């Protein structure tokens, strides 16, 4: 004897409904609902993809616009720079000239002023006669002494001094040592001119780099 299922139990007071549709129809309706749901899902995904593609396209267009703007700005700057090419070339030439000037005058000594200072250290009765100068150049180092106790030098000055009285050579050398750039001095021969009644002394003095004029050196920064 078959046991009654729940579907066979009558519902007291309920609505009386009878589904007379065949199972194939019900399956077809379920399939239609599933297809509609799937179509809606596919449509939603397509919309999202379209929005993503649109956003990417907009970003790409914005980037291209910015790139074109920067390229135009670069071309404008290059054009403006071209206008100042002659100025930059002139500035470069001036810089080269100044560098050459500084190098050429790096070993310069104001010999007129320096010899005037030498004359100023001597007694008023002494006069400087002939002068011979040998100094350094920017292209070659000056030859240094091989004898001991002689300082570094950049120039050598040999001069004759004439005095009406017997010269006090040690006092002369002490006076010369007060000059800027004085390295050392060596007395030479002393001779008497009987006809003129005067003495002639040959002195060789060495000068160091303190005597450089620095005429074209750049100004010092504070």
Least confident range of 86-100, 105-119, 181-195? 86-100
pLDDT by residue (tens digit) across 123-135? Answer: 888 999 999 999 9
Is the same domain home to 91 and 120?
no
Q: Does residue 53 lie in a domain region? A: yes
Same domain? 116 vs 205: yes
Residue 34, domain extent: 21-105
Q: Which residues pair with 158 in a beta bridge?
A: 132, 204
- Position 130 in a domain: yes
**Percentage of residues of the chain with pLDDT beyond 90:** 29
What pLDDT is recorded for position 1? 44
- Structural domains in the chain (count): 2
Q: Is the pTM of this model over 0.85?
A: no
78 and 137 in a common domain: no
In the predicted model, is pLDDT for residue 35 greater than 50?
yes
- Looking at the fold, whether 92 and 180 belong to one and the same domain comes out as no
| pLDDT the model gives residue 45 | 85
How many whole angstroms separate alpha carbon 21 and alpha carbon 24?
A: 8
What does DSSP assign to residue 140? Answer: B
The verdict on 94 and 166 lying in the same domain is no
CB 135 within 8 Å of CB 102: no
Is residue 27 located within the same domain as residue 100?
yes
Within-domain flag for 5 = no
Residues 187 and 206: their CA atoms lie apart, in Å, by 12
Mean pLDDT of 104-109: 84
CA atoms within 13 A on the CB side of 40: 6
């Amino acid at each position: 004897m078959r046991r009654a299922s729940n579907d066979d139990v009558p519902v007291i007071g309920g609505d009386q409904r009878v589904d007379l549709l065949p199972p194939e129809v019900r399956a077809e309706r379920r399939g239609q609902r599933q297809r509609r749901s799937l179509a809606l899902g596919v449509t939603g995904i397509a919309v999202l993809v379209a929005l993503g593609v649109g956003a990417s396209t907009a970003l790409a267009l914005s980037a291209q616009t910015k790139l074109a703007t920067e390229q135009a700005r670069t071309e404008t700057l290059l054009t403006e720079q071209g206008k100042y090419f002659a100025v930059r070339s002139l500035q470069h030439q001036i810089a080269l000239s100044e560098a050459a000037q500084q190098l050429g005058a790096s070993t310069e000594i104001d010999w007129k002023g320096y010899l005037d200072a030498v004359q100023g250290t001597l007694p008023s009765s002494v006069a400087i006669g002939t002068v011979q100068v040998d100094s350094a150049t920017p292209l070659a180092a000056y030859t240094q002494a091989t004898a001991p106790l002689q300082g570094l030098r950049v120039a050598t000055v040999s001069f004759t001094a004439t005095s009406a009285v017997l010269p006090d050579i040690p006092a002369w050398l002490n006076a010369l040592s007060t000059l800027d750039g004085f390295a050392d001095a060596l007395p030479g021969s002393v001779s008497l001119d009987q006809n003129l009644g005067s003495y002639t002394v040959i002195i060789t003095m060495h000068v160091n780099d303190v005597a450089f004029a620095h005429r074209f050196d750049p100004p010092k920064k504070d």
